[in-house]
């Protein structure tokens, strides 16, 4: 096998899947390098069809594993049925200069198997945010630049949603949404009547509520709302790189997938000012191999992408590839997911839900949208859940009394509706937040250990208090009772939306990537995962990464054709 390709994509996750799909479809012989093992759709979902009672610990994670892996143990999604997709803290150490729970999935498909599939578009309120509010740098793109790519991604991925007509949350190419409950409708109405500018909509999600021809061609079928998505869906009812983009790229005949390939660095050629390839360490044999290509896409997941670039040192770039201004790894940010609110709704006692759905309600950002109205910058979106489940008998006493209390009656809808919301707050990228490489310590593959320092600031604290006040007010107006608020005080990272560090911008002096995601100072290297994000917004970011990746890949192909890179 030749070691030369038209393109190399580093990282086979959510964004890398889109890079390879676009590059391969447009005829480029593409090498996809993934540090983890291959995970094949259906074949490698060992728990997908297990019943709850077939799990040895009924879903609970063993104590020893939790003790040894404190960061992932704090992640809500890390459970007995999908633990095998999570990177263990113990296996891939990193240095927390400040507490940071780094949640990773090292395998072909990346975290696209574990994700919660929430897919909201960004709007110009997000892309214009830094310029308007005077933080970070101005995004070099606007909504109109990305809108066609959002559409392209949405059609292929399959997004269930309603056209809500909100400027803060642009509509897309939607499959039918599921209807939400009467309590959702009630809350929606309360917002409409009493809180102008606030809305509750169906949270758009990457599920095939009504598969189209393009989805059937991918071999995917209708989502049947099993809601066991995190184990891998044998039906392909939700989008993942495993079930969708990577097999699609494979079908073109242009893809070479190499799992177990840890990309150590990108190799720079000072003669033409371009990257010439990558250096890979075979994860098992530790053999070092070099691959060359005309164009390189870095999609290793924000923090790993930063680390690969930092580790790509040369005489020309002593502080890392493209790091001519010393900003590589700085201005990293995340989402503030600390605030939760719960309540009960005593109304609608004669109503309940039958079956399950894979999403819930969503309250788009309403703070500081049209003007600055609070003493903190930006704002937050929120989930809105309302559910009611059948409750069995309260276990009472011992012996026959206990047995009869459990088996004497069938579970019924007796309790009230349970209401919950969780804040999804924007954080402001700061120079003091960073990802660096340690000068001394290395991992098992000889790569310098990654050091992470990200923290909340006063803006985040004020936002949390505002969320509690606003949601308490809205909940009270809706007649909800027993309202309790909770600041989880969780460290950064558990939002699993790390962004920035290789930010886009107009000016090469203050940013690393241009409007096409090319490194300003090494034009055949593209960064199209979370690392490219200039600011964080409030919406779940992966849809935007995918749209950015597709757009940049298309640009790269055109540029290659014109010999411009």
Closest chain position to ligand FAD (CB): 13
- What is the token pair recorded at 9? 């994509």
Residue 201 Cβ vs another protein, minimum distance, rounded to whole Å: 15
Q: Which is nearer to another protein, 63 or 192 (CB)?
A: 63
The DSSP code sequence of 119-162 is: -----HHHHTHHHHHT-S---S--HHHHHHHHHHHHHHH-EE--
Q: Is 84 in the site for another protein (CB under 8 A)?
A: no
Closest C-alpha to 326, from 115, 489, 508: 508
Q: Is 529 in the site for ligand FAD (CB under 6 A)?
A: yes
Q: Is 525 in the site for ligand FAD (CB under 6 A)?
A: no
**Residue 106 site contact among ligand FAD, another protein, none (CB < 5 to 8 Å, cut-off depends on kind):** ligand FAD
CB 528 within 8 A of CB 545: yes
Q: What are the b/e assignments for 307-345, b being 16+ CB within 10 Å?
A: bbbbbbbeeebeebbbbbbebbbbbbbbbbbbbbbbbbb
Closest C-alpha to 515, from 13, 119, 138, 124: 138
Residue 64 Cβ vs another protein, minimum distance, rounded to whole Å: 8
CA distance 175 to 138: 33
Residue 84 Cβ vs another protein, minimum distance, rounded to whole Å: 16
Q: Is 176 in the site for another protein (CB under 8 A)?
A: no
Give 517: exposed, middle or buried? Use CB within 10 Å, 0-12, 13-18, 19+.
Answer: buried
Q: Which is nearer to another protein, 58 or 489 (CB)?
A: 58
**Residue 144 site contact among another protein, ligand FAD, none (CB < 5 to 8 Å, cut-off depends on kind):** none
Q: Is 232 in the site for ligand FAD (CB under 6 A)?
A: no
Q: Is 117 in the site for ligand FAD (CB under 6 A)?
A: yes
- Residues in contact with 189: Cβ distance below 8 Å, sequence separation at least 6, in sequence order: none
Residue 413 Cβ vs ligand FAD, minimum distance, rounded to whole Å: 29
**Residue 243 site contact among another protein, ligand FAD, none (CB < 5 to 8 Å, cut-off depends on kind):** none
CA distance 354 to 344: 19
Q: Which of 9, 16, 378, 426 binds ligand FAD (CB under 6 A)?
A: 16
Q: Is 70 in the site for another protein (CB under 8 A)?
A: no
- Residues in contact with 345: Cβ distance below 8 Å, sequence separation at least 6, in sequence order: 183, 186, 386, 416, 417, 418, 419, 478, 479, 480, 481
**Residue 16 site contact among ligand FAD, another protein, none (CB < 5 to 8 Å, cut-off depends on kind):** ligand FAD
**Residue 541 site contact among ligand FAD, another protein, none (CB < 5 to 8 Å, cut-off depends on kind):** ligand FAD
Angle between the N-to-C axes of helices 143-157 and 542-561, in degrees from 0 to 180, rounded to the nearest 10: 100
CA distance 527 to 309: 10
Sign of CA dihedral 349, 351, 353, 359: negative
Closest C-alpha to 205, from 80, 109, 121: 121
Site string for another protein, 379-408 (x = CB under 8 A): -----------x-x--x-xxxx-xx--xx-
- Residues in contact with 417: Cβ distance below 8 Å, sequence separation at least 6, in sequence order: 181, 183, 344, 345, 346, 347, 348, 386, 387, 388
Site string for another protein, 122-161 (x = CB under 8 A): ----------------------------------------
CB 409 within 8 A of CB 442: no
- What is the token pair recorded at 359? 């999403």
Q: Which of 43, 84, 163, 356 binds another protein (CB under 8 A)?
A: 356
Considering only residues 323 through 362, tell me which ones interact with ligand FAD, judged by CB under 6 A. none
**Residue 62 site contact among another protein, ligand FAD, none (CB < 5 to 8 Å, cut-off depends on kind):** another protein
Q: Is 545 in the site for ligand FAD (CB under 6 A)?
A: yes
Q: Is 118 in the site for ligand FAD (CB under 6 A)?
A: yes
Considering only residues 403 through 462, tell me which ones interact with ligand FAD, judged by CB under 6 A. none
**Residue 353 site contact among another protein, ligand FAD, none (CB < 5 to 8 Å, cut-off depends on kind):** another protein
Which residues make up the interface to ligand FAD (CB under 6 A)? 10-16, 33-36, 77, 103, 105-107, 110-112, 114-118, 261-263, 299-301, 304, 308, 496-497, 529-530, 540-542, 545
Which residues make up the interface to another protein (CB under 8 A)? 49, 51-53, 56-58, 60-64, 67, 178-182, 184, 224-228, 350-357, 390, 392, 395, 397-400, 402-403, 406-407, 410-413
């Amino acid at each position: 096998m030749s070691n030369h390709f038209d393109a190399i994509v580093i990282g086979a996750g959510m964004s890398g899947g889109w890079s390879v799909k676009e590059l391969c479809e447009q005829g480029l012989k593409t090498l996809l390098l993934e540090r983890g093992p291959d995970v094949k759709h259906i074949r490698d979902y060992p728990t997908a069809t297990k019943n709850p009672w077939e799990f040895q610990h009924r879903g609970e994670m063993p104590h020893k594993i939790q003790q040894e892996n404190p960061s992932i143990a704090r992640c809500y999604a890390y459970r007995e049925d999908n633990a095998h997709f999570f990177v263990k803290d113990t296996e891939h150490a990193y240095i927390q200069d400040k507490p940071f729970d780094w949640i990773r999935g090292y395998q072909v498909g990346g975290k696209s198997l574990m994700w919660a599939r929430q897919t909201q578009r960004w709007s110009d309120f997000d892309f214009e945010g830094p310029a308007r509010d005077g933080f970070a740098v101005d995004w070099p793109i606007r909504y109109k630049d990305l809108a066609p790519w959002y559409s392209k991604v949405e059609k292929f991925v399959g997004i269930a949603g309603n056209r809500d007509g909100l400027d803060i949350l642009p509509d897309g190419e939607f499959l039918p949404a599921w209807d939400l409950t009467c309590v959702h409708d009630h809350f929606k109405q309360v917002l409409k009547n009493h809180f102008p500018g606030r809305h509750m909509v169906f949270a758009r999600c990457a599920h095939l509520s009504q598969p189209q021809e393009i989805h059937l061609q991918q071999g995917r079928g209708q989502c049947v709302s099993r809601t066991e998505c995190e184990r891998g869906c044998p039906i392909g009812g939700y989008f993942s790189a495993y079930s969708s983009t990577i097999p699609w790229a494979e079908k073109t005949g242009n893809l070479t997938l190499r799992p177990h390939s840890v990309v150590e660095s990108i190799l720079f050629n000072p003669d033409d000012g371009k990257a010439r390839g990558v250096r890979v360490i075979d994860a098992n044999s530790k053999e070092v191999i070099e691959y060359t290509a005309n164009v390189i896409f870095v999609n290793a997941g924000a923090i790993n992408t930063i680390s690969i670039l930092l580790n790509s040192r040369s005489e020309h770039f002593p502080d890392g590839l493209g790091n001519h201004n010393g900003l590589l790894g700085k201005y990293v940010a995340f989402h503030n997911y600390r605030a939760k609110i719960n309540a009960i709704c005593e109304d609608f006692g004669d109503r309940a839900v039958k079956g399950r759905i894979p999403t819930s309600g969503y309250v788009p950002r309403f703070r500081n949208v049209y003007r600055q109205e609070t003493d903190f910058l930006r704002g937050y979106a929120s989930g809105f859940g309302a559910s009611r489940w059948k409750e069995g008998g309260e276990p009472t006493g011992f012996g026959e009394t206990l047995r009869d209390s459990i088996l004497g009656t069938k579970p019924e809808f007796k309790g009230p509706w349970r209401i919950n919301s969780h804040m999804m707050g924007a954080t402001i990228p700061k120079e003091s937040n960073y990802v660096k490489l340690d000068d001394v310590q290395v991992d098992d593959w000889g790569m310098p250990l990654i050091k992470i320092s990200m923290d909340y600031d006063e803006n985040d604290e004020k936002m949390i208090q505002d969320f509690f006040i606003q949601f308490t007010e809205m909940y009270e107006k809706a007649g909800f009772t027993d309202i309790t608020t909770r600041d989880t005080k969780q460290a950064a990272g558990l939002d699993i939306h790390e962004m920035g560090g290789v930010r886009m911008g107009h000016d090469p002096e203050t940013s690393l990537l241009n409007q096409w995601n090319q490194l300003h100072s090494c034009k055949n290297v593209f960064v199209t995962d979370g690392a490219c994000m200039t600011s964080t917004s409030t919406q779940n970011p992966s849809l935007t990464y995918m749209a950015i990746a597709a757009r940049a890949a298309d640009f790269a192909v055109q540029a290659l054709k014109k010999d411009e890179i």
